Amino acid sequence: MIPFLDLKKINEPYETAFQEKLKLVLASGWYILGNEVKEFEFNFATFCKAKHCIGVGNGFDALTLIFKGYIQLEKLQKGDEVIVPANTYIASILAILEAGLIPVLVEPKLDTYNINPDLIVEKITLKTKAILAVHLYGQLAEMDAINTIAAKHNLLVVEDAAQAHGAVANYNFQIPNSKTQSDDNFAILLAPRSGAGGASAYSFYPGKNLGALGDGGAIITNDSALAKIVFSLRNYGSETKYYNEYAGVNSRLDELQAAFLNVKLPHLDAENEQRRRIARRYLAEIKNDKIMLPKWDSSNNHVFHLFVIRTEKRAELQKYLHENGIQTVIHYPVPPHKQKALSEWNDLSFPITEIIHETVLSLPISPVLTDEEVTLIIAILNKY
Ligand SMILES: *Cc1c(COP(=O)(O)O)cnc(C)c1O
């Protein structure tokens, strides 16, 4: 059986380094917000070519704290509307609600699965104050178009990068305190990652491209005022121990998880390249009329957290693959607006989102999937 995702195999090469880190942390006697967290925050900010990284408890908290930070800064207020893709993992939407804001759903494009920028403007009202772009399955959303709309309507841009660690942005950001972006190649030369523009939320859930051995998350931003507030909000709203400026929460990146992430981060680009290599093979070699392949422009803006195909008779294909020793997963079976948890939206209609949820199937993809396994998967798919 080829498993969908072999996490044990992914982490095995790091075992010795993990054990050394464990010894170090144990011996330090300092287990919360110590040197490993500080080091990781520096390393991940540098990796993203951004000014600030704030380690937090998980990806959901990273999103929520960005919104709560903007509320503290009075750039948002409770009840403001936030544009968000209808086609996303529900966490994106729940985070908006958790911060006391109102999600406004927008349909995706069928071939990239990401939000359709052309449909954003018609959803903007006087109460719209932000866009939450989601880089679904590892592919950056169309940030050029999204940033242009945001600038025109004076909206904040927040990115859910929980599936897109290391994706390279080839769009122009306004980077504060740096030279202007008159040179078209500026951003490309700089190769910033998601978050170097506005603010981005990352998750280090074990199955993500940069996965810890437990929960973890981070906020990436160039906005120093926002960074200062979320730095405090994650730790009970306190910057100086026992002095609390804000009604914050407890959402700190765990010291041991940070230590493990420091081991894995230097290998992320190579692991993502391996994922892209597999994706290139799937795209070139899967030839079956019953299978619709995802759209990708071949740039490094995609880190293939998932390789998601579509097919009309999904249950049949999934069963066939299972019988032939290939495990697949559905991301995701029920759209957010059809979930019981969001029952007030159950009667809304988002046809493209619904088609996607009815037809998607994720094939195995990971840095430890072998060439032989990829060859076998392609052969079995082509025989279907
Ligand atoms: C995983 C994920 C999250 C949430 O991250 P957690 O660490 O599980 O809280 C948010 N958004 C998207 C798109 C995700 O894939």
> Does the beta carbon of 160 sit less than 6 angstroms from any atom of ligand 1?
yes
Distance in Å, CA 129 to ligand 1 centroid: 22
Closest CA to 233 of 252, 212, 248, 213: 248
Rounded CA separation 217/204 (Å):
5
365 Cα: distance to centroid of ligand 1 (angstroms): 18
Please report where in the chains the tokens 């279907």 appear, as a residue: 384
Q: Which two tokens stand for residue 311?
A: 């097919």
| Residue 91 CA, ligand 1 centroid: distance in Å | 6
5, 56, 58, 60, best to mutate for ligand 1 pocket (most atoms within 8 Å of CB): 60
pLDDT at 175: 45
Pairing type for strands 102-106 and 81-85 reads: parallel
Please give the domain boundaries of the chain with CATH numbers for all domains: 7-264 (3.40.640.10), 268-383 (3.90.1150.10)
Which residue is closest in CA terms to ligand 1's atom 10? Answer: 91
Mutate to test the pocket of ligand 1, among 98, 135, 137, 163 (most ligand atoms within 8 A of CB): 163
Q: Is the CB of 89 under 6 A from ligand 1?
A: yes
pTM of the model: 0.94
| CA distances from residue 198 to 64, 85, 130, 226 in whole angstroms, order as listed | 15, 18, 11, 10
Residue nearest to ligand 1 atom 6, measured at CA? 59
Closest-lying ligand 1 atom to the alpha carbon of residue 134? 13
**Which residue's CA is minimally distant from atom 14 of ligand 1?**
162
Q: Can you tell me which atom of ligand 1 is nearest the CA of 136?
A: 13
Give dist(CA 253, CA 366) in Å, integer.
25
pLDDT of res. 292: 98
Atom number, ligand 1, closest to the C-alpha of residue 92: 11
The pLDDT score that the predictor gives to residue 251 is 98
Q: Rounded to the nearest 5 degrees, what angle is found at the Cα of 46, between the Cα atoms of 267 and 73?
A: 130
Residue of 134, 203, 252 best suited for mutating to test ligand 1, as the one with most atoms within 8 Å of CB:
203
pLDDT at 170: 66
Looking at residue 171, its pLDDT comes to: 53
Q: How far is the CA of 194 from the centre of ligand 1 (A)?
A: 15
Ligand 1 contact via 205 beta carbon (within 6 Å)? yes
User: For the segment 216-260, what is each residue's pLDDT rounded down to a tens digit?
Assistant: 999 999 899 999 999 999 999 999 999 999 999 999 999 999 999
pLDDT, tens digit (0-9, with 9 covering 90-100), for 281-308 = 999 999 999 999 999 998 889 999 999 9
What is the CA 33 to chain-centroid distance, rounded? 24
Cα of 210 to ligand 1 centre, how many Å? 12
Ligand 1: which atom is nearest the Cα of residue 95?
Answer: 10
Q: What is the mean pLDDT of each run of 10 residues along the chain (384 residues)?
A: 98 98 98 98 93 97 98 97 98 98 98 97 98 97 92 95 90 46 38 72 98 98 94 95 94 98 97 97 98 93 97 98 98 98 97 98 98 98 98
